[in-house]
Amino acid sequence: MVTSIPKIKLYDTHAHFDGSPLETLTVMERALAAGVERVVAVGGSTSLNVGAIAVAGAFPECVRLALGFDRDQATDASPEVYVETLRSLAAVNTLSAVGETGLDFHYHPETADAQRALFRAQLLLADEWQLPVIIHTREAEEATLQVLDETPWRGEGLRGVVHCFTGDKTFAEQLIERSLAISFSGIVTFRNADMLRESAASVPDERLLIETDSPFLAPVPKRSLRNEPAFVVYVAECLAKVRGTTVEHIAAVTYENAVRLFG
Ligand SMILES: [Zn+2]
């Protein structure tokens, strides 16, 4: 007798690629075999942008492309230099989002001002291009909200996601008020993440996304392995458990939300 496992399709809204063709191929084959039908390949530095462009080019049907410069790239160089680079990349690539970008005062408190300037410049670019923005924030919640609120939105206004969310319920609510989605990564499966699971239980269905942030942060029970999009199902399973629903439901709503945001 053959038992059929209900087929679910999943959308990993945040993965990084190093651009090596063989690895990209095997990782994407395993993702597709695991029901991960779409992946956002996310940039953030010169090398991450190159890797994201490569995988989006190799898998145009299932990979959506986000390019940007993250907080580690915040230097004394004017943000305009980065913006010009993104403009030339966008001239020859189809972007679905700007990112990742944002603030991290855990690792780099000393570059706070430069981070703000680089973040702000990319928010304006996302606004100009009418694209969603993929936001990283760590130990910089107040500053992140402040930059978002100070941005003179001209288009439809802010659209996007705070990825790899690690905040509490209150911060989640503040982001939801600003029309952002909240994306949970493998961190939500970690043993000591009770506060985060409480946040995960509180986000409304229509703002919920899932991601791997691979190759980092592999979820339980794959902790010891290099993370990859195929493992996003474990994030979905964890969210189903904390929200008292089925993995099929989580897969369906997060897929739909991700398509709305990234295509
Ligand atoms: Zn990332």
Q: Which pLDDT score is estimated for 37?
A: 97
- The answer to whether the Cα torsion of 57, 58, 64, 69 is positive or negative is negative
Rounded Cα gap, residues 141 and 146, in angstroms: 9
Question: Which range marks the domain in which residue 239 is found?
Answer: 10-262
Q: Give residue-wise pLDDT tens across range 188-247.
A: 999 999 999 999 999 999 999 999 999 999 999 999 999 999 999 999 999 999 999 999
| pLDDT at residue 163, as a whole number | 98
Q: Residue 5 domain-assigned?
A: no
pLDDT at 23: 86
CA of 79 to the centre of ligand 1 (A): 20
CA of 213 to the centre of ligand 1 (A): 5
Q: Which protein residues have a CB closer than 5 Å to ligand 1 (ion)?
A: 213
- Distance from Cα 1 to the centre of ligand 1, integer Å: 43
- Sign for the CA dihedral angle at 165, 170, 172, 178 comes to negative
Which residues does the chain have with pLDDT short of 50?
Answer: none
Q: What is the CATH number of the domain that holds 246?
A: 3.20.20.140
Ligand 1 centre distance from Cα of residue 4 (Å)? 35
Distance from residue 3's CA to the centre of ligand 1 (Å): 37
| H or E element that contains 122 | helix 112-129
Ligand 1 centroid – CA 204 distance (Å): 23
- Tell whether 1 is covered by a domain: no
In-domain check, residue 226:
yes
In a domain, 171, yes or no: yes
The answer to whether residue 247 is domain-embedded is yes
Q: What are phi and psi of 107, to 5 degrees?
A: -85, -30
Please indicate, yes or no, whether the overall pTM of this predicted structure exceeds 0.75: yes
Nearest residue to 102 via CA among 42, 189, 18, 17: 42
Residue 204 belongs to a domain:
yes
**If you measure from the C-alpha of residue 91 to the centroid of ligand 1, how many angstroms do you get, rounded to a whole number?**
23
Paired tokens of 70: 């993250």
Residues 6 or more apart whose Cβ sits within 8 Å of residue 116: 103, 143, 147
The answer to whether position 3 is within a domain reads: no
What are the backbone angles phi and psi of residue 24, rounded to the nearest 5°? -60, -45
Tokens 């981070």 sit on residue: 115
Task: Judge whether 2 lies within some domain.
Answer: no
Distance CA 29, CA 15 (A): 14
The tally of domains found in the chain comes to 1
